[in-house]
Amino acid sequence: MPELEINEYLARTYFNNTVLDYFIALGILLIGFILIILFRKIVLNRIIRWTENTSTSIDNYVMEGIARFGIPALYITVLYVAVNYLVLSARLSKVLEIAVTIAVTILLIRLISTALLVVLRSYVRSQTNGEEKVKQLGGLMLIVNVMIWFIGLVFLFDNLGYDVTAVIAGLGIGGIAIALAAQNILGDLFNYFVIFFDRPFEVGDFIIIDQKMGVVEYIGVKTTRLKSLSGEQLVFSNSDLTNSRVHNYKRMQRRRVLFKNSVIYQTSLEHVQEIPKLIKSIIMEQQPVEFDRSHFSAYGDSSLDFESVYYVLSSEYNVYMDVQQKINVRIFEEFNKRGIEFAYPTRTLFVAKEQTEEVSEML
């Protein structure tokens, strides 16, 4: 009797499906979810740990993609199979179809976005200073994601039966109006791409734009920010930067230094001939430098002028200043030893003696 009652209960029909059908659908759902969980914990996690020890990173990206997108796709598939086992009304079938379409579309959009991000990161990381360049991908990926989501949603609405042609045409007309109203913003956006791909400077570079200088802190979609030497933040639009002459001192492999020394006219000929050789020997004592030349260059208004040139084999400003300081101290030391006097602006006034005598007689 109890068995008969159970059979009668299982044979009852609700919404065109028996109770047994509902139990079978629930069983499919539970068994499917349990199998997916076991697969993820036992199989997938072991494979992920194994790929972490390999020399290549491609397998890591593949397994990460399976974990992030493959597992959710399996859940959606099991849910669809379980629900689809039941006899659904036309309206519920339509709702189920729409829900699955939306879920699959979102997964595909995220998969494409993640794949593009991985490709861009791999490409940028392979370049010089790749890790610094990877930090600048945020603005680019924001634009790429907006484009991918827009295209994905257009396909989604098209598959759902909506007429997207009129919508796209309307967006085209609206896009022209927006472009005309936001020319400066779009100009900065396109110049962001110029900066990103042409690489005139990068985060961490010391640059000079006209009379402004500082270290690049951030390169954004519209603006680029610098930290000045005095500590404040300088904000430039990307269009201003691409239209200006930018001096990038981070790219400088060595620094050319020209300096001058002046001595008084009373300096002896021997010392005048000795000074270029003396300066050369002092420069060559320093490291890391490369001597170029030293000459008696000109007769000044109140001095004999010497000009010297050397290269500091470093782009660091502090290194250049340390070297120049040592050279200045050594020149001062050697000039004092030899009694050579540095020149400073002077003016000598000569008074004629005849004129003095004539003035005395008149008095």
What tens digit of pLDDT does each residue of 100-113 get? 888 888 888 888 88
Query: 327: which residues sit within 8 A by CB, 6+ positions away?
Result: 259, 282, 283, 286
- Among 19-23, 161-165, 225-229, 249-253, name the most confident range: 225-229
Contact 205, 195 (CB under 8 A): no
Backbone angles phi, psi at 311, to 5 degrees: -120, 130
In which band, very low, low, confident or very high, does the pLDDT at 317 lie, cut at 50, 70 and 90? confident
The pLDDT score that the predictor gives to residue 210 is: 82
- Whether the CB-CB separation of 311 and 255 falls below 8 Å is answered with yes
Q: How far is 327 from 285, CA to CA, in rounded Å?
A: 9
The structure tokens 């270290």 sit at 215
Mean pLDDT computed over every residue of the chain:
80
**DSSP three-state, residue 308:** strand
Per-residue pLDDT of 175-231, as tens digits, reads 555 555 556 677 777 788 788 777 788 888 888 888 888 888 888 878 889 998 888
Q: What is the per-residue pLDDT for 326?
A: 95
Percent of the chain past pLDDT 70, that is, above it, reads: 81
Section 334-345 average pLDDT: 92
CA distance 353 to 363: 16
Could you tell me the CA-to-CA distances from 12 to 2, 17, 21, 28, 216 in Å, in that order? Answer: 15, 8, 10, 20, 73
pLDDT band at 170 (very low <50, low <70, confident <90, very high): low
Predicted local confidence at residue 336, as pLDDT: 94
**Prediction pTM value:** 0.52
Q: How far apart are CA 177 and CA 281, in angstroms?
A: 69
Task: Give Cβ neighbours of residue 249 (< 8 Å, ≥ 6 apart).
Answer: 205, 206, 207, 208, 315, 317
Report the alpha-carbon angle 325-329-332, nearest 5.
140
Q: Of the segments 133-147, 245-259, 272-286, which one has the largest average pLDDT value?
A: 272-286
Residue 342 structure tokens: 């540095």
pLDDT tops 80 at residue 354: no
Would the pLDDT of 355 be above 80? Answer: no
85-88-89 Cα angle (round to 5): 165
